[in-house]
Structure 1
Amino acid sequence: MTSRGAVSPGRQRRLLAMVAVIGGLLVSAQPALAATPPVDDGAAALPAARGAGWQPDIQAPDPVTLPGTTKKVTPFATPLTPQQPKALPGASKGPGATLKADSSARAAIRTVDMPTFRGTSPQADPDDPPTGLYCTEAITRNSSVSGTPNQTNYAANISYLAEFGCNFWLNAAYIATGVIDRGRFDGQFLYTTAPLTYGQTYYGATSGGVSIPGELFDGGRTVEIAFELYLLAPAGVYWGGCFPIPGLRYLLCEGLGTNLLHIVLGTGPFGTGLQSPVIRHVALGDSYSSGTGAPPYSDASCRRSPATYANLITGTVLSGLPVDRPTLAACHGARIPDLYASQQSGLPPQLDAIQPHTRLVTLTIGGNDLGFSAKLTGCYLGADCSASGPLVTPQELYQVQAQLTTLYRQIRAEMHPGGKLMVLSYPAVVPNPDDPADPQPTQDRCPDLGSNLVESERRAIYEATVQTDRMIRDAVLATGDSRVVYVNGLDLFRGHRLCSTNGVWANGLTSPLSDSFHPNASGYQAMATRVAQVLPPL
């Protein structure tokens, strides 16, 4: 690897992982393949709890006693439901909460001019002008979006100022504010401020703000700011009504007919500007993930095709969210080291495509490390390749399996902790001579395949594919991580391999040579269908 300046902690971990694998292989002399317990056809993974992402900032203060009472209060302890304004019969009107008092009680109350609000000034409804003693509220808010979608810095930024003011002196007050999700997690608080307690007062205010990371949290697209108040009126009077306040709505109004009013006001739902949440997907690996064999290609050197299975699962709904179009980093000819380092000039390491919010990674890798493609082409063009022993040796399988396990763990360490790594094994494209579902070549059908790959060679190729499948499966199991999921591709093309009379899902020897023995568009569609079928919940 050439130096590229400062090395990030993630890349340092990758380098250490790579050195550890290579160093272990140099001193290893164990040829045996790990044990292979039975695995169902599909995803071999246990259910796992949803991983951590962004966590709401919720204050949890101890209860406090409201001055002048024995009432212990904590913020937002009462369920909130939008409700209509309400009032007792004969209550005076006003833009907010009004008192009901006879003339003698009213004379004993200390009145003041309504204070000037620092933010948005409350407006009285011209059809309901204030006629008595009242308290009103206002919430001034700002919201913006920063960063770029599919980047960690993408966020909604919300700030606000909540105020109350009265035209008389209260005996005490208690206020708190918060931001509530009004979308995917309707009713969940995303942020709360520490509450404030007042003695005698006629004005109070609190401010707050929260930054909601759009890629680490699926909520926060629509929110509401809530303003909770306990207002203690002087003795001998009581609260008569919760009247409309322009721009706000009631989420709670209780205590009418007493001198302690408990209300929660909300702004109503508003959009934060964040795009709808999706499952971010990165596709890594070799030609079986880039789309080799199904031209045209969007990238000629890596042979990346719109027809690859990774593109075709776009829109699949997973845990209620659609899978996004992938960041397609897979490249034709890739080997395991190419995920850690640059495969060719100007091409970054494939692992660089993973971000902390990546929740789905799909992968095929390991075949080129075994030299499988070159061996298969050699069988077709050269002498009988079954005469010199197995196409892949136990030592080769052992070494690549160890590297795969390390790679899988590295990918999981760099993606979202609750995400899934879907590891596909390779479909067998050459007909299995021992499987009646696979028509064998004859003089009238596939004569070239029959003359270039005799039965013993086809059997050797299929056996090597089986061994590769087991190697990948065992490498997944060796991670001990239920979020690394093995997807069985071995027999996916059964009945549709080369020479099939029911539609062939792979290329034989073709031009360009690099497209040979790879899935065609139908094959990639079959791979996409399999992956979509076994995608587990996040």
Structure 2
Amino acid sequence: MGPYARAGLAGIMSCGVLLTAVLIGRPDGTYDNARDERPQPGPYVALGDSYTSGPKIPRQTGTPVGCDRSDHNYPALVARQLGVRASHFHDISCSGATITRLTSPQTTSNGTNPAQLSALSTRTRLVTLGIGGNDIGFGSTVTRCVTMGSLYRATSGGRLFSDTAPCKKQYVDGGTDEVAQKIQATGRQLSAALAEIERRAPKARVYVVGYPAILPAEGKGCGKELPLAPGDATYLYDKEKQLNTMLREQAEAAGAAYVDTYSPSVGRDACSAEHTRWIEPLRPTRPAAAVHPNAHGEQGMADAVLRAIGD
């Protein structure tokens, strides 16, 4: 990324102006700090999919309505905490978005979202990007595995072993892992997208936001909340970890920062207690889409982004 992208955000003025700590590199590897903490206007652009937009979390806001944005999703919470003026905050995240929707319009059930990168400009100083899950079809994979897990339990009399994985067999054939291949392909797409973000917003600090824990730690079952066969639960757990690893690697390769939302969410997955979980199960008990963050989860993700900005 450019010099602003490597420096990070140092603070914020009360009027909503971000202070960007800028380090200007010299050929000998030293830095000129003369421009450190120079006030810069702080437009913030939030890009991403439904884990960013916050479907069904009150209050739904913005256009198009079909993008399912909440005014309590993590971008909105970050903007408020930083004091970013409303006119400088652009949340263009959209439920169902894939990486291709960063550069092309997305038709939703209620309106069309413009290409997300169209919100960027040379004035942009902060970008958060949470995307990739739809590119690997993770939501549909979870749904399929839950369906197969329920069927397997019903037909086997409930007898399950730690290696029982009827769904995994559908994705791993002869040592070839279909989901792993999709993660690799998505990594290449993300690399190109991050380069385009750099081109359009060269002075922005970019944060790639990972996914919080959806399932409990490897080897633990999920019970009636997400009735997966034990081996399938382990498989999905592994795939989410691989997805986040790819997001981290691509962020670092592009000179962007990676926001780890997984570590603070451990023990707050969709199978945890109602009052502690960040992710709702198939039958949500709080306002949120199934297998998506609730308001508590969006707050936790916002806290992770704010910690990254403050580092």
| TM-score when normalising by structure 2 | 0.73
Q: 1:420 aligns with which of 196, 205, 209?
A: 205
Tell me which residue corresponds to 2:84.
Answer: 323
Distance 1:302 1:395, change over 3 A: same
Tell me which residue corresponds to 1:534.
Answer: 308
CA contact 2:45–2:120 (8 Å) conserved in 1: yes
Tell me which residue corresponds to 1:397.
Answer: 183
> Which structure has greater helix proportion?
2
RMSD, matched Cα: 3.2
Tell me which residue corresponds to 1:506.
Answer: 279
Tell me which residue corresponds to 2:67.
Answer: 302
- SS of aligned partner of 1:301: helix
CA distance in structure 2 between the aligned counterparts of 1:50 and 1:400, rounded to whole angstroms: 26
Q: 2:266 aligns with which of 461, 474, 494?
A: 494
CA contact 2:129–2:206 (8 Å) conserved in 1: yes
Amino acid aligned to 1:409: A
**Shift in Å, 1:347:** 2.5
**Structure with bigger gyration radius:** 1
Deviations 1:75-129 (A, max 9, x none): xxxxxxxxxxxxxxxxxxxxxxxxxxxxxxxxxxxxxxxxxxxxxxxxxxxxxxx
Distance 1:50 1:286, change over 3 A: closer
Distance 1:50 1:331, change over 3 A: closer
Q: 2:51 aligns with which of 282, 288, 294?
A: 288
**Shift in Å, 1:337:** 0.9
Tell me which residue corresponds to 1:516.
Answer: 290
In the alignment, structure 1 residue 459 sits paired with structure 2 residue 225? no
Amino acid aligned to 1:307: H
- SS of aligned partner of 1:429: coil
Tell me which residue corresponds to 2:114.
Answer: 348
- SS of aligned partner of 1:486: strand
Tell me which residue corresponds to 2:98.
Answer: 335
In the alignment, structure 1 residue 477 sits paired with structure 2 residue 252? yes
| TM-score when normalising by structure 1 | 0.43
Amino acid aligned to 1:313: V
CA distance in structure 2 between the aligned counterparts of 1:493 and 1:50, rounded to whole angstroms: 24
Distance 1:218 1:414, change over 3 A: same
Tell me which residue corresponds to 1:411.
Answer: 197
CA contact 1:424–1:488 (8 Å) conserved in 2: yes
CA distance in structure 2 between the aligned counterparts of 1:460 and 1:293, rounded to whole angstroms: 28
CA contact 1:307–1:524 (8 Å) conserved in 2: yes
Unaligned runs of 5+ in 1: 1-45, 52-149, 151-183, 185-216, 220-276, 442-446
**Shift in Å, 1:291:** 1.2
Tell me which residue corresponds to 1:27.
Answer: none
Distance 1:454 1:295, change over 3 A: farther
CA contact 1:294–1:305 (8 Å) conserved in 2: yes
Tell me which residue corresponds to 1:15.
Answer: none
Amino acid aligned to 2:224: D
Amino acid aligned to 1:507: E
Distance 1:362 1:218, change over 3 A: same
CA distance in structure 2 between the aligned counterparts of 1:527 and 1:387, rounded to whole angstroms: 33
Amino acid aligned to 1:499: C
Amino acid aligned to 2:195: R
**Shift in Å, 1:505:** 1.2
CA distance in structure 2 between the aligned counterparts of 1:406 and 1:536, rounded to whole angstroms: 27
Q: 2:224 aligns with which of 424, 448, 451?
A: 448
CA contact 1:293–1:507 (8 Å) conserved in 2: no
CA distance in structure 1 between the aligned counterparts of 2:58 and 2:217, rounded to whole angstroms: 27
Distance 1:337 1:394, change over 3 A: same
In the alignment, structure 1 residue 388 sits paired with structure 2 residue 170? yes
**Shift in Å, 1:392:** 4.8
Higher RCO (C-alpha under 8 Å, 6+ residues apart): 2
Q: 1:373 aligns with which of 139, 152, 157?
A: 139
* Segment of structure 1 superposing worse, 381-390 or 453-462: 381-390
Distance 1:49 1:506, change over 3 A: closer
% identical equivalent positions: 30
For this pair of structures, how many residues does the alignment match?
255
CA contact 1:281–1:324 (8 Å) conserved in 2: no
CA distance in structure 1 between the aligned counterparts of 2:7 and 2:53, rounded to whole angstroms: 31
**Shift in Å, 1:286:** 0.6
CA contact 2:120–2:200 (8 Å) conserved in 1: yes
**Shift in Å, 1:399:** 1.2
**Shift in Å, 1:528:** 0.4
Distance 1:291 1:50, change over 3 A: closer
**Shift in Å, 1:50:** 8.1
CA distance in structure 2 between the aligned counterparts of 1:316 and 1:463, rounded to whole angstroms: 33
CA distance in structure 1 between the aligned counterparts of 2:245 and 2:45, rounded to whole angstroms: 24
Distance 1:471 1:508, change over 3 A: same
**Shift in Å, 1:485:** 0.8
CA contact 1:313–1:528 (8 Å) conserved in 2: yes
Residues 245-260 of structure 1 mapped to structure 2, 5 A cutoff: none
- SS of aligned partner of 1:282: strand
**Shift in Å, 1:426:** 0.9
Distance 1:434 1:511, change over 3 A: closer
CA distance in structure 2 between the aligned counterparts of 1:218 and 1:510, rounded to whole angstroms: 49
Amino acid aligned to 1:414: R
Distance 1:282 1:488, change over 3 A: same
Residues 13-412 of structure 1 mapped to structure 2, 5 A cutoff: 48-49=6-7, 278-299=41-62, 300-317=65-82, 322-325=83-86, 326-344=89-107, 346-383=112-149, 384-390=166-172, 392-412=178-198
**Shift in Å, 1:458:** 1.3
